């Protein structure tokens, strides 16, 4: 109510020019003329289009004319803009102005407590009908602050939920609410990030959110069709009304921009990918890290709104703290302010926002840093005016100072991108808002004065310095006296004058009212006698030339590498046309067995020959492996490495989620696993759900982008889980939360069976509809689509399981539906039903010897793998733990004790996992035609005393002990140099990562089975 | 088939396996061994004495639980039982110096967990009294050659006192070789790292850290005051001072009879612990010690030993070398620091201790020193080297017979002797292995 009253108040007193206003005038009308002519200004009409000295006329809030000799209409009030520069007012393309902070969800509020308002979406995180134009509140204080940074308009983007709602372009003027809205329903905001953790309801993980976004676009596309059908044939069940899906219509048809937020460079690529998948008109609010993958970002052709919250300098004040600073972090600090400049130079369309700054009042300072670090002023201006105006569909109304546009005019006393320049005022819709007005009269210059107490005598008052903060001296009786405590405000100057040197012991105080030509003053002599003084100007005010030379800024010290930071390379390792590995013990893991003194020839990334005395083709890279052992690259059939999110625990069935959506190709564990000879992995969803998410089979191509890690020919798969984790045996539920179905192994069986049946029903429903397509079309359901694929044998099932009863259960359920489980994961009691597993034909991917971390792992024995192997099961040893995956060869070595041959044991981490993942045509053994994914070891791979020396993928060397030494040296040198730079910088960056935010959260945690609920 | 039989012979050399009746016997629990009744001579094996040179084709004799002779020219007492172990190796029993063995059984079942007491001040918690002799983890560990664990409580700021626990015996009293060994302290984290999982702001965190450091200092100050007050009790006119178990437990530490085992991985933790121990005038052992290699000169100057835990792990900092932890023992050795290697603190995989030592050997430590780090040097760090840790006359006959190199995964510990007792080598894993081997034998029979 208070705010409303304020608005009302304002509207009464400033009701000039309320064109087309519905509100009645209650008092006297305000008909102050709204015609202004700005004369003699430097006018930046548009980026790159400058009038060095000209006039600009506005009438009733619109620009009437602009030009060197634009005529001044006789009814105009004139403003002398000598020395001033006019720009189009800035547009903040991504603002939260006027919106309340979203409430932080209480833990345990998994479901809405109250019934939702109206025809809401079933999921409270989808709020597309939220309309900023209906919800924002004018915020005078914030508006003033934004105006002080040059902004005339802000694009207000809703900030709560995943599908956040409709944005609006809002003016920062002082009109009443409705007049502030420049355009509503400008764009639709979608976010990958929601408040609340594991218990905040579905979806609560990045992976789940992306899946939910995907499904919702599909739903939005589909939504109108049931209604069309229903309108044609009302004699069928009425379709649902859904405000969110209805509100997404323009966006899903590509007619309304979709704004997405990215928190890191990979997030940008994810957003762009979603946009491409649904042909959306996507704009991304970037993270500030886009420069690190500039080519990939550029190739998406997606525009970026860049924030200027540069990271704080890493803590390096003490040597111990400095140890915690990673090279990645240091390099990002060093290069972050070049983000905008580099993107613009690469041709990426950019806009700039004050969003993410702790204090929007620092925007200009940050912008100037970006300009100093390579962003051209012209592009910077475009990024704040023409670009956002174009993207938001208001370029015909605003964004330049051309005739016919809104009078949004920024007035500065110089080049706005230079450090000393001040914003004097900003006109919004033809109305003046002072920011830092210059003094009405410039007091600087020479004045001759007389004192009432010394008639006849004259002195000289000389003032210089800044117009608002003059300094100077008085010359009296041949002595120069320095002024102290000079103050100059509201046209009054005052100062103190120590007068000991002219015989008056003490300090005289003087003040005066200043006009252009005269000062009328009053004073207090040291003896208490008061006097008047009068001064007349002898010399005109003169702005002092800016003598401070702008220091050339130091640019980023090192070229970008992939991945960013430590152990990154300038580009992917070369793939030599021919490679000959000579004179090694070769564990082929195929029919030829283990060969001594043998050679292996690789051509174009594929193995072509293995044998003795192979001649090197001309130009081949030869690797002398005398005394060394060569094995296939090891394959980890159960990994969570490089997954930015692991579990979507919001629902019990989540096979619509995809690990591929959340791959973090920068995970340092990739490099560490390469250093231990692991070349491929099966990245799985966690074990929170009976039917979990879709897995991703990858090769550890360190330095490649996420999608480039994907193993091209690997068939798709999915994670299942049984037992303690899915029934949440070890959970302590927050108060007020209900247990999730299922809570017993009985329920697990029934739920899986039910979903299999649901998928069959779904398939039938589609077939039925396809026949005549007359009735309401079925809704495409990504979850059921995935299950249909499983039932059709097109999606491999990798099932986390422990106890023999549940193992058998799953095999039987699968058999009932005529399908085969591809791999049983962990399967720690597999040895108890090895015969059944072998008969079913499932693979078994186990730990070598983990046990006792929970009841269902109590009967786990290290003989599990060997016993299953002996019964004819294809057995592998996996890691489920990023560290363990760096040494799978030793895990395999543990099988020998149980009577396996060395080659059988090594197959547990090479050929067998390849078979389980159905990629054995390409990897898993060293045979002609297969990929050149191999490891060179210092000795037998099964010996604890052996080191991995080289790791190759696709005939490219991704790890080499010698190169690793070079990396170490480089990391040492670069960290040292950047730490020096931080120490020298006294970094005054205002931004910094938010409290509790680090870039790659998943690296902190070693994913392992001990965290029983989260991973496995 | 041949292969399987072969395996069984290697694992259970003392039992003949052909009959179902024997299988029934095997299916029962392992039974604590009786005391050594007559002298035993292991002949023909390669003897890794650790304290001296390796003796090929040597003999070890022990009687009444004590080693009486070691060498190639040894007189074997007439009444001695001779066991020919040609082709095999004899090692001192392995010592897992930092473990919750006996206190922790099944991670997810609270009723089986006794390793972490509530509250911050648990100086009076004694590990040995809660060691569960029936723990199924113990027979599994000793099949991996573990004969003694430095069993420790781990909960709170001051966790309690550790004990050297033998991996065989009917009761915890019988199993306790020495107690207390040391007072375990979990040094507070000194440097703040922002994490999406942290619930505290930096300021809250700092307040918390400072409070913990103060609590540690206060505890020792209180214990000193307690000693003074108790001593003064005898004087005339001094009132009675009632017992405080927490401060009683700190007296042996203040008297330098037992060291403080400080869990400290990160550099500032280690530095702070050293300064603190100097100020408090207590003996210090660093546990963990990931950053210890950075300040070896300071550790050396103060003669501070290190228990390197979990060698099979990776560095915590993104930029650090992948093999930083693997090569940590080698670096400490080079600097002349007394150290030992312990495995995973979690007891279920204590049997992989040899693997941790072997990895150190692959990355810079000599094989001899790697072996030493889990035997004699572990005994020295724990203060039990006068009793165990090497094969030399006068020491307890806690030794292993191994099929090959104990640092290789393919080797099998065939027989364990603890204080001369011939330890039952059965365990739950073998029982289940044999049980289900029997299942498949039956299936095959009826096919």
Find, among A844, A917, A894, the residue nearest to A681 by Cα: A917
Distance from CA of A899 to the nearest CA of B (A): 5
**Which of A321, A890, A1010 is the closest to B355 by Cβ?**
A890
Specify the residue for token string 């979903």: A755
pLDDT band at A990 (very low <50, low <70, confident <90, very high): very low
- For the segment B20-53, what is each residue's pLDDT rounded down to a tens digit? 444 455 556 899 999 999 999 999 999 999 999 9
A1015 in contact with chain B, both atoms CB, cutoff 8 A: no
Give the pLDDT of residue A197.
Answer: 63
Give the pLDDT of residue B17.
Answer: 42
> Where are the alpha helices (H) located in B44-164, listed in sequence order?
137-143
**Which of A853, A893, A968 is the closest to B409 by Cβ?**
A893
In CATH terms, A445-539 corresponds, of 3.40.50.720, 2.40.128.120, 3.90.245.10, 3.40.50.970, to 2.40.128.120
**Which of B202, B291, B348 is the closest to A852 by Cβ?**
B348
Query: Mutation test of the interface with chain B: which of A314, A731, A852, choosing the one with the most B Cβ atoms within 10 A?
Result: A852
Give the pLDDT of residue A104.
Answer: 65
pLDDT at position A899 over 50: yes
Give the pLDDT of residue A999.
Answer: 43
A831 and B194 within 8 Å at the Cβ level: the answer is no
Find, among A611, A605, A643, the residue nearest to A931 by Cα: A605
pLDDT band at A198 (very low <50, low <70, confident <90, very high): low
Q: How many CB atoms are closer than 10 A to CB A973?
A: 11
pTM here is 0.92
Give the pLDDT of residue A26.
Answer: 82
And the tokens for A373? Answer: 């670090």
Q: Which helix (H) or strand (E) holds A652?
A: none
B318 and A854 within 8 Å at the Cβ level: the answer is no
- Within 8 A of B17 by CB-CB distance, chain A residues are none
Distance from CA of B430 to the nearest CA of A (A): 8
pLDDT at position B309 over 80: yes
Give A693: exposed, middle or buried? Use CB within 10 Å, 0-12, 13-18, 19+.
buried
Q: How many CB atoms are closer than 10 A to CB A444?
A: 23
- Within 8 A of B351 by CB-CB distance, chain A residues are 849
B429 and A863 within 8 Å at the Cβ level: the answer is yes
pLDDT at position A1008 over 70: no
Q: How many CB atoms are closer than 10 A to CB B123?
A: 25
Fold category of A573-633+924-979 in CATH: Urease, subunit C; domain 1 (2.30.40)
Q: Which residue of B has its CA nearest to A891?
A: B409
- Within 8 A of B291 by CB-CB distance, chain A residues are 323
Give the pLDDT of residue A196.
Answer: 67
In chain A, residues under CATH classification 2.30.40.10 are 573-633+924-979
The mean pLDDT value for A96-111 works out to 69
Residues 638-697 of A with CB under 8 A from B: 668-669, 671-672, 675-676
A321 and B408 within 8 Å at the Cβ level: the answer is no
The mean pLDDT value for A326-348 works out to 97
Residue-averaged pLDDT of chain B: 93
Distance from CA of B76 to the nearest CA of A (A): 33
Give the pLDDT of residue B19.
Answer: 44
Higher pLDDT, A604 or A3: A604
- For the segment B383-427, what is each residue's pLDDT rounded down to a tens digit? 999 999 999 999 999 999 999 999 999 899 999 999 999 999 999
What is the Cα–Cα distance from B28 to B20, expressed in whole angstroms? 13
Find, among A913, A955, A921, A930, the residue nearest to A683 by Cα: A913
A944 and B407 within 8 Å at the Cβ level: the answer is yes
What is the Cα–Cα distance from A652 to B437, expressed in whole angstroms? 37
Find, among A226, A209, A227, A216, the residue nearest to A252 by Cα: A216
A862 in contact with chain B, both atoms CB, cutoff 8 A: yes
Name the packing angle between helices B202-232 and B267-280 (round to 10°).
20
- Could you give phi then psi for residue B196, rounded to 5 degrees? -65, -15
- For the segment B199-227, what is each residue's pLDDT rounded down to a tens digit? 788 899 999 999 999 999 999 999 999 99
Residues 888-917 of A with CB under 8 A from B: 890, 893-894, 896-900
pLDDT at position A369 over 90: yes
What is the Cα–Cα distance from B399 to B397, expressed in whole angstroms? 6
Distance from CA of B34 to the nearest CA of A (A): 28
Give me the percent of chain A exceeding a pLDDT of 70.
92
Residue-averaged pLDDT of chain A: 91
In chain A, residues under CATH classification 3.20.20.140 are 90-103+119-398, 634-918
- For the segment A745-760, what is each residue's pLDDT rounded down to a tens digit? 999 999 999 999 999 9
pLDDT at position A497 over 80: yes
In chain B, residues under CATH classification 3.20.20.140 are 202-385
- Within 8 A of A944 by CB-CB distance, chain B residues are 355, 358-359, 361-362, 407-409
Give the pLDDT of residue B223.
Answer: 97
CATH code, residues B202-385: 3.20.20.140
Going by the DSSP 8-state scheme, the letter that residue A586 receives in this structure is: E
Count Cβ–Cβ pairs < 8 Å, chain A vs chain B: 166
pLDDT at position A547 over 80: no
In chain A, residues under CATH classification 2.40.128.120 are 445-539
Find, among A895, A952, A943, A903, the residue nearest to A923 by Cα: A952
pLDDT band at A116 (very low <50, low <70, confident <90, very high): confident
Give the pLDDT of residue A731.
Answer: 78
Lowest mean pLDDT among A337-346, A512-521, A809-818, B172-181: A512-521
CATH code, residues A90-103+119-398: 3.20.20.140
The mean pLDDT value for A903-923 works out to 98
B6 and A671 within 8 Å at the Cβ level: the answer is no
Query: Mutation test of the interface with chain B: which of A944, A978, A1015, choosing the one with the most B Cβ atoms within 10 A?
Result: A944
Cβ A635 vs Cβ A885: under 8 Å: no
The CA-CA-CA angle for residues A735, A738, A741, to 5°, reads 150
Q: List Cα–Cα distances, A64 to A90, A153, A175, A399, A894, in angstroms.
A: 20, 20, 21, 15, 85
Q: Which helix (H) or strand (E) holds A1005?
A: none
The mean pLDDT value for A450-467 works out to 88
A830 in contact with chain B, both atoms CB, cutoff 8 A: no
- For the segment B63-103, what is each residue's pLDDT rounded down to a tens digit? 999 999 999 999 999 999 999 999 999 999 999 999 999 99
- For the segment A136-156, what is each residue's pLDDT rounded down to a tens digit? 999 999 999 999 999 999 999
**Which of A324, A565, A835 is the closest to B443 by Cβ?**
A835
The mean pLDDT value for A596-625 works out to 97
pLDDT at position A10 over 70: no
**Strand A530-539, strand A518-524: pairing:** antiparallel
- For the segment A690-730, what is each residue's pLDDT rounded down to a tens digit? 999 999 999 999 999 999 999 999 999 999 999 999 998 88
Task: Dump the DSSP string for B7-30.
Answer: HHHHH-TTS---SHHHHHHHTSPP
pLDDT at position A110 over 90: no
And the tokens for B438? Answer: 């029997």
Give the pLDDT of residue B194.
Answer: 73
CA A829 centroid distance within chain: 43
The mean pLDDT value for A869-895 works out to 97
Cβ A332 vs Cβ A305: under 8 Å: no
pLDDT at position A461 over 90: yes
Cβ A567 vs Cβ A702: under 8 Å: yes
Q: How many CB atoms are closer than 10 A to CB A730?
A: 15
- Within 8 A of A669 by CB-CB distance, chain B residues are 314
> Is the backbone peptide bond immediately before A563 cis, with ω within 30 degrees of 0?
yes
Q: Which residue of B has its CA nearest to A1013?
A: B108
**Which of B7, B105, B201 is the closest to A852 by Cβ?**
B105
pLDDT at position A111 over 50: no
Give the pLDDT of residue A114.
Answer: 60
A883 and B313 within 8 Å at the Cβ level: the answer is yes
pLDDT band at A101 (very low <50, low <70, confident <90, very high): confident
Give me the percent of chain B exceeding a pLDDT of 70.
93
What is the Cα–Cα distance from A842 to A637, expressed in whole angstroms? 14
Find, among B196, B178, B120, the residue nearest to B154 by Cα: B120
Give the pLDDT of residue A546.
Answer: 60
A1010 and B107 within 8 Å at the Cβ level: the answer is yes
Residues 979-1008 of A with CB under 8 A from B: 993, 995-998, 1001, 1003-1005
The mean pLDDT value for B324-353 works out to 96
And the tokens for A329? Answer: 């972090």
Distance from CA of A729 to the nearest CA of B (A): 9
Cβ A877 vs Cβ A908: under 8 Å: yes
pLDDT band at B11 (very low <50, low <70, confident <90, very high): very low
Q: What share of chain B is helix, strand, coil (3-state, %, to 5)?
A: 35, 20, 45
pLDDT band at A441 (very low <50, low <70, confident <90, very high): confident
Q: Which residue of A has its CA nearest to B344?
A: A850
The mean pLDDT value for B109-117 works out to 96
- Within 8 A of B437 by CB-CB distance, chain A residues are 867
Q: Which residue of A has its CA nearest to B361?
A: A945
Fold category of A634-918 in CATH: TIM Barrel (3.20.20)
CATH code, residues B2-92+424-446: 2.30.40.10
Sign of the CA dihedral with A89 first, then A93, A98, and A101 last = negative
- For the segment A658-694, what is each residue's pLDDT rounded down to a tens digit? 999 999 999 999 999 999 999 999 999 999 999 999 9
Distance from CA of A493 to the nearest CA of B (A): 46
pLDDT band at A549 (very low <50, low <70, confident <90, very high): low
And the tokens for A682? Answer: 């099966």
> Is the backbone peptide bond immediately before A554 cis, with ω within 30 degrees of 0?
no
What is the Cα–Cα distance from A206 to A647, expressed in whole angstroms? 9
What is the Cα–Cα distance from A309 to A78, expressed in whole angstroms? 40
């Amino acid at each position: 109510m208070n705010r409303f009253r304020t608005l009302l108040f304002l509207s009464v007193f400033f009701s000039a020019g309320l064109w087309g206003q519905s509100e009645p005038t209650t008092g006297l009308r305000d008909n102050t003329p709204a015609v202004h002519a700005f004369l003699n200004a430097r006018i930046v009409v548009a980026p790159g289009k400058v009038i060095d000295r000209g006039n600009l006329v506005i009438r009733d809030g619109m620009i009437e004319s602009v030009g060197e000799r634009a005529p001044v209409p006789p009814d105009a009030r004139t403003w002398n803009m000598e020395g001033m520069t006019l720009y189009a007012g800035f547009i903040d393309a991504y603002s939260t102005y006027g919106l309340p902070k979203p409430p932080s969800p209480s833990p345990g509020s998994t479901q809405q407590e109250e019934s939702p308002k109206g025809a809401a979406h079933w999921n409270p995180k989808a709020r597309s009908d939220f309309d900023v134009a209906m919800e924002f509140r004018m915020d005078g204080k914030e508006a003033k602050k934004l105006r002080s940074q040059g902004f005339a308009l802000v694009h207000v983007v809703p900030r709560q939920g995943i599908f956040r709602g409709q944005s609006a372009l809002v003016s920062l003027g002082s009109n009443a609410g409705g007049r502030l809205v420049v355009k509503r329903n400008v764009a639709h905001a979608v976010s990958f990030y929601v408040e609340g953790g594991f218990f905040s309801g579905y979806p609560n993980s990045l992976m789940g959110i992306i899946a939910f976004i995907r499904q919702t676009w599909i739903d939005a596309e589909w939504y109108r069709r049931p209604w069309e059908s229903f309108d044609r044939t009302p004699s069928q069940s009425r379709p649902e009304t859904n405000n969110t899906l209805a509100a997404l219509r323009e966006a899903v048809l590509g007619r309304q921009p979709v704004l997405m937020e990215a928190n890191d460079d990979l997030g940008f690529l994810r957003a762009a990918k979603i946009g491409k998948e649904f042909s959306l008109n996507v704009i991304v609010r970037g993270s500030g890290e886009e420069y690190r993958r500039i080519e990939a970002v550029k190739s998406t052709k997606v525009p970026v709104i860049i924030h200027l919250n540069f990271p704080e300098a890493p803590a390096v004040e003490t040597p111990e703290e400095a140890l915690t600073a990673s090279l990645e972090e240091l390099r990002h600090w060093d290069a972050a302010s070049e983000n905008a400049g580099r993107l613009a130079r690469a041709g990426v369309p950019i806009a700039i926002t004050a969003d993410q700054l702790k204090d929007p009042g620092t925007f200009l300072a940050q912008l100037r840093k970006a300009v100093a670090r390579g962003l051209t002023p012209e592009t910077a201006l475009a990024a704040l005016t023409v670009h956002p105006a174009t993207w938001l569909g208001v370029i015909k109304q605003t964004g330049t100072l051309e005739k016919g546009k809104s009078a949004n005019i920024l007035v500065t006393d110089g080049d706005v991108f230079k450090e000393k320049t001040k914003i004097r005022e900003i006109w919004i819709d033809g109305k003046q808002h002072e920011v830092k007005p210059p003094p009405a009269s410039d007091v600087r210059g020479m004045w001759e004065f007389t004192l009432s107490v010394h008639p006849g005598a004259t002195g000289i008052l000389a003032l210089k310095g800044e117009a608002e903060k003059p300094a100077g001296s008085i010359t009296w009786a041949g002595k120069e006296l320095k002024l102290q405590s000079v103050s100059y405000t509201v046209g009054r100057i005052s100062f103190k004058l120590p007068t000991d040197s002219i015989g008056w012991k003490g300090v005289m105080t003087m003040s005066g009212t200043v006009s252009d030509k005269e000062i009328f003053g009053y004073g207090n002599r040291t003896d208490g006698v008061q006097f008047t003084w009068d001064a007349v100007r002898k010399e005109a005010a003169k702005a002092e030339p800016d003598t401070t030379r702008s220091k050339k800024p130091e640019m980023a010290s090192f070229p970008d590498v992939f991945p960013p930071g430590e152990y990154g390379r300038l580009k992917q390792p070369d793939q030599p046309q021919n490679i000959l590995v000579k004179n090694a013990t070769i564990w082929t893991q195929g029919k030829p067995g283990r060969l001594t003194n043998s050679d292996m020839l690789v051509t174009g990334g594929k193995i072509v020959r293995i044998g003795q005395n192979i001649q090197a083709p001309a130009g081949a890279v030869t690797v002398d492996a005398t005394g060394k052992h060569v094995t296939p690259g090891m394959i980890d059939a159960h990994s969570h490495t490089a997954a930015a999110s692991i579990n979507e625990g919001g629902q019990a069935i989540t096979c619509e989620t995809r690990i591929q959506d959340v791959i973090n190709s920068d995970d340092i564990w990739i490099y560490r696993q390469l250093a231990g000879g692991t070349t491929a992995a099966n990245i799985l969803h966690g074990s929170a759900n009976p039917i979990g998410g879709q897995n991703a089979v990858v090769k550890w191509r360190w330095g490649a982008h996420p999608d480039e890690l994907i193993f091209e020919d690997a068939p798709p798969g999915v994670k299942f889980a049984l037992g303690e984790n899915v029934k949440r045996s070890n959970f302590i539920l927050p108060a007020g939360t209900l247990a999730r179905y299922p809570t017993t192994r009985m329920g697990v069986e029934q739920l899986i069976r039910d979903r299999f049946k649901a998928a069959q029903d779904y398939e039938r429903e589609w077939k039925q509809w396809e026949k005549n397509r007359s009735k309401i079309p079925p809704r495409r359901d990504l979850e059921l689509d995935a299950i249909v694929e499983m039932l059709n044998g097109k999606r491999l099932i990798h099932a986390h399981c422990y106890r023999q009863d549940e193992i058998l259960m799953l095999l039987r359920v699968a058999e009932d539906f005529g399908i085969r489980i591809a791999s049983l994961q962990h399967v720690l009691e597999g040895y108890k039903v090895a015969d059944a597993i072998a008969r079913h034909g499932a693979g078994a991917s186990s730990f070598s010897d983990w046990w006792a971390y929970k009841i269902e792992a109590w009967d786990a024995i290290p003989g599990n793998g060997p016993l299953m192997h002996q019964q004819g099961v294809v057995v592998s040893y996996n890691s489920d733990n990023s560290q363990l995956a760096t040494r799978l060869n030793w895990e395999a070595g543990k099988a020998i004790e149980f009577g396996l041959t060395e080659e059988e044991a090594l197959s547990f981490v090479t050929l067998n996992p390849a078979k389980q993942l159905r990629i054995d045509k390409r990897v898993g053994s060293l045979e002609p035609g297969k990929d050149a994914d191999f490891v060179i070891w210092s000795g037998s791979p099964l010996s604890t005393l052996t080191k991995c020396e080289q790791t190759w993928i696709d005939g490219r060397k991704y790890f080499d002990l010698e190169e690793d030494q070079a990396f170490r040296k480089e990391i040492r040198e670069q960290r040292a140099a950047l730490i020096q730079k931080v120490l020298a910088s006294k970094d005054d960056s205002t931004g910094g990562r938010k409290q509790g935010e680090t870039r790659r959260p998943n690296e902190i945690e070693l994913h392992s089975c001990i965290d029983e609920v989260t991973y496995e | 088939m041949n292969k399987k039989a072969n395996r069984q012979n290697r694992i259970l050399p003392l039992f003949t396996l052909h009959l179902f009746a024997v299988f029934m016997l095997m299916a029962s629990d392992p039974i604590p061994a009786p005391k050594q009744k007559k002298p035993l001579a292991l002949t023909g094996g390669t003897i890794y004495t650790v304290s001296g040179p390796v003796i090929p084709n040597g003999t070890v004799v022990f009687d009444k639980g004590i080693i009486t002779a070691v060498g190639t020219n040894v007189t074997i007492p007439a009444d001695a039982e001779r066991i020919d172990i040609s082709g095999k190796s004899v090692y001192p029993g392995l010592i897992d110096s930092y473990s919750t063995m006996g206190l922790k059984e099944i991670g997810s079942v609270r009723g089986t967990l006794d390793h972490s007491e509530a509250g911050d001040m648990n100086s009076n918690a004694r590990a040995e009294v809660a060691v569960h002799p029936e723990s199924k983890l113990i027979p599994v560990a000793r099949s991996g050659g573990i004969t003694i664990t430095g069993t420790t409580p781990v909960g709170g700021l001051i966790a309690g006192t550790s004990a050297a626990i033998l991996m065989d015996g009917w009761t915890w009293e019988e199993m306790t070789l020495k107690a207390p060994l040391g007072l375990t302290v979990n040094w507070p984290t000194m440097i703040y790292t922002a994490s999406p999982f942290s619930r505290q702001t930096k300021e809250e965190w700092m307040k918390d850290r400072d409070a913990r450091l103060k609590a540690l200092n206060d505890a020792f100050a209180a214990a000193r005051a307690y000693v003074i007050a108790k001593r003064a009790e005898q004087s005339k006119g001094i009132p009675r001072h009632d017992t405080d178990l927490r401060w009683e437990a700190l007296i042996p530490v203040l008297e330098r009879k037992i060291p403080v085992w400080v869990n400290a991985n990160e550099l500032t933790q280690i530095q702070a612990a050293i300064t603190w121990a100097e100020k408090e005038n207590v003996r210090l052992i660093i546990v963990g010690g990931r950053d210890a290699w950075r300040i070896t000169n300071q550790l050396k100057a103060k003669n501070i030993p290190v228990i390197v835990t979990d060698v099979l792990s990776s560095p915590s900092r993104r930029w650090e070398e992948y093999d930083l932890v693997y090569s940590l023992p080698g670096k400490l050795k080079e600097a002349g620091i007394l150290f030992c290697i312990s495995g995973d603190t979690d007891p279920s995989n204590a049997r992989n201790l040899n693997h941790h030592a072997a990895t150190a050997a692959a990355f810079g430590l000599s094989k001899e020193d790697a072996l030493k780090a889990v035997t004699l040097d572990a005994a020295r760090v724990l203060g039990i080297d006068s009793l165990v840790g090497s094969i030399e006359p006068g020491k307890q006959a806690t030794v292993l017979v191994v099929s090959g190199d104990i640092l290789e995964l393919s080797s099998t510990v065939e027989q364990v002797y603890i204080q001369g007792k011939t330890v039952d080598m059965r365990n739950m894993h073998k029982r289940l292995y044999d049980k289900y081997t029997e299942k498949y034998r039956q299936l095959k029979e009826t096919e």
